[in-house]
Chains A and B, each alone.
Chain A
Amino acid sequence: MQRASRLKRELSLLTTEPPPGITCWQNESQLDDLRAQILGGADTPYEKGIFNLEIVVPERYPFEPPKIRFLTPIYHPNIDSAGRICLDVLKLPPKGAWRPSLNISTLLTSIQLLMAEPNPDDPLMADISSEYKYNKQLFLLNAREWTEKYASQQKKVSKPLEEKINQSKTGTTNDSAVQKRKGSNICKKEKKSRLDS
């Protein structure tokens, strides 16, 4: 009941005053399915990358946090290969720190911050985390390579322009999807290609 009024206000705020480097919109005018993009911050290995995220807004929002995951593969200690994010504000208390004073805009900003400042002491990807801790140079190299490979818009431009607008509910699909990721228990929808271009 509260979800509708909340989302309406949040979406209009996101349109008129988006947080720096963040865009968020409704996916095919469904109320509970949003998409967002985060621009990789300067002086991070994600610089010049554009990262797509999926936001599923539960029925009980804002009493429950939205479920957010990365659609674009990202090399990060706290983000797993299914795009799931380990961040306290995305979980309900007592384990997490979600509260209704937060919103989608502040969550996306927190994720942007997490990208710039990984938290290797609470890792989701143990290998990446130890690499981040003990071999920062290699971590930066790998993260930059992934950004270049999966999140770079410049590369998309140079590709044959075969992008087609896919109106089906499953989201955009693409033949050239390099890698498939399943958001197994994140969203109950059927699996779809993780790369939307």
Chain B
Amino acid sequence: MAGSGALLRQCPLLLPQNRERTAYEGFVTAQGRDFHIRILLPMDFQLKNARIECSWHLKKILHGYQHILKQRLHSCPDLVSFMVELKTVLEIALKNTQDLHIPRPPEYYSCLVRDLEILGWNKVVYVDTGLTTVKLKAEDSCGRQHLVTLKLNAKYPTEPPDCLVDFPVQFAISWMPQNSLIDIYNQFLAALESLKEFWDAMDEIDGKTWVLEPENPTRSATSRRIAIGNNVSVNVEVDPRHPNMLPECYFLGADHVVNPLRIKLNNNMHLWDPEISLLQNLKDVLEIDFPSRAVLEKSDFAKDCGICYAYRLDGTTPDQVCDDPRCGQPYHRACLYEWLQGLPSSRQSFNVIFGECPYCNKPLTLKSSTKKL
């Protein structure tokens, strides 16, 4: 009896249909929606032999979750705990499919299209098929291209869309129900102008120095690791609101090179002039000129031995190649031999070594042609 009480609390709309309590019919509720369901239990009340009948709606939502439900039927001790599990699964399934099941009101689409027309289609770079995501482009006064992604919810324009931007600072929009996309666009343009100085400073650094990190800085990246010399670099963390103030600086490199730089920074800190550019300030204060990007002669890496990183070794060339076509790593015979013969996992039979490719782990054989390896 206690069991039926718990069931009633869990699913008040699911009622027993017979005295033996082997058949239940009613509704299961999730996210405020009721779904028709019928559960038929065998005489021994073994849940794993139960039969669940769903309305077509519920069936459609639970499609793809059958194996989970089947497993739950096997593991749950009684009907109450199964119903708890079923509701959890249903909640998840509803969350994952909601977008497909709830069409937006027609006013949403007409309003959005009207707003896009007012804004001008030339500013739109992308609209997804469901008309829920819109990407707009804008150019700031320095000719830099920027994008804003708008994720519109079904209550647009009563509720504002989520705006995703590539900014170093928060982009919060102010929104009234009578506003439209053009208001967001104008706020976006204003925000771009407020960050203009910051991007000017960063662009100058990216253009005139050798930035080691990040490789392809995004517009939101506020730090740069700038090369000063061989294996010496400075990491600057720029405040996007005050780009021309002294940034936070960390020096990386050997002490005997880095210490003089640090001393200079300390002694010349008072020379920092917010009126001139960040890069010029750094140059003045550190009394250095930043080197421009050095390009490593990219000798064909693919041809070199994967162990010694060279092409020629004692007059030999890498003539052993991993047989796996996806790897194909070349090695010098001598290098591969020396590595494989030291491994406990390699096996030698006469003059053939069986081992694994150091790069891809695929089996590999090596014939030792001469003894003097």
Contact = CB atoms under 8 A, between A and B. Distances in A.
A20 B233 CA distance: 12
10 contacts: A1-B314, A5-B313, A14-B231, A24-B231, A25-B230, A25-B231, A62-B307, A99-B358, A101-B358, A157-B262
Interface in B282-314: 294-296, 304, 306-310, 313-314
A156 B231 contact: no
A23 B358 CA distance: 26
A10 B359 CA distance: 17
Say which size band chain A's interface belongs to. Answer: 35 or more
B124 interface: no
A6 interface: yes
Given A21-B213, A25-B231, A157-B266, A101 B259 contact: no
Top 9 nearest A-B pairs (CB, nearest first) are: A25-B231, A2-B308, A5-B310, A23-B252, A9-B309, A165-B256, A16-B296, A163-B259, A100-B307
A17 B296 contact: yes
Contacts of A44: none
Interface string A71-86: 0000000000000000
Nearest to A100: B307
Interface of B: 212-214, 225, 230-233, 235, 250-256, 259, 262-263, 265-266, 294-296, 304, 306-310, 313-314, 329, 335, 338-339, 342-345, 358-359
A93 B344 contact: yes
Instruction: Among B230, B255, B359, find the residue whose CB has the most chain A CB atoms closer than 10 A.
Output: B255
A93 B345 contact: yes
A63 B345 contact: no
Contacts of A163: 255, 259, 263
B239 to A, nearest CB: 15
A2 B358 contact: no
A18 B256 CA distance: 20
A63 B263 CA distance: 42
Given A37-B252, A99-B358, A153-B251, A9 B231 contact: no
A117 B342 CA distance: 31
Contacts of A62: 307-308
Contact of B250 (A100, A101, A153, A172): A153
Contacts of A10: 309
B256 A39 contact: no
Instruction: Among A21, A99, A100, find the residue whose CB has the most chain B CB atoms closer than 10 A.
Output: A100
B209 to A, nearest CB: 14
Instruction: Among B231, B307, B339, find the residue whose CB has the most chain A CB atoms closer than 10 A.
Output: B231
A2 B250 contact: no
B223 to A, nearest CB: 10
Nearest to B295: A16
A93 B294 CA distance: 38
A130 interface: no
Contacts of B310: 2, 5-6, 9
A128 interface: no
A50 interface: yes
A135 interface: no
A100 B344 contact: no
B340 to A, nearest CB: 10
A29 to B, nearest CB: 11
B250 A12 contact: no
B313 A161 contact: no
A93 B346 CA distance: 11
A49 to B, nearest CB: 10
Contacts of B294: 15-16
A156 B296 CA distance: 34
A197 B254 CA distance: 11
B342 A63 contact: yes
Instruction: Among A17, A101, A161, find the residue whose CB has the most chain B CB atoms closer than 10 A.
Output: A101
B356 to A, nearest CB: 9
A161 B266 contact: yes
B235 A196 contact: no
Contacts of A172: 255-256
A57 to B, nearest CB: 13
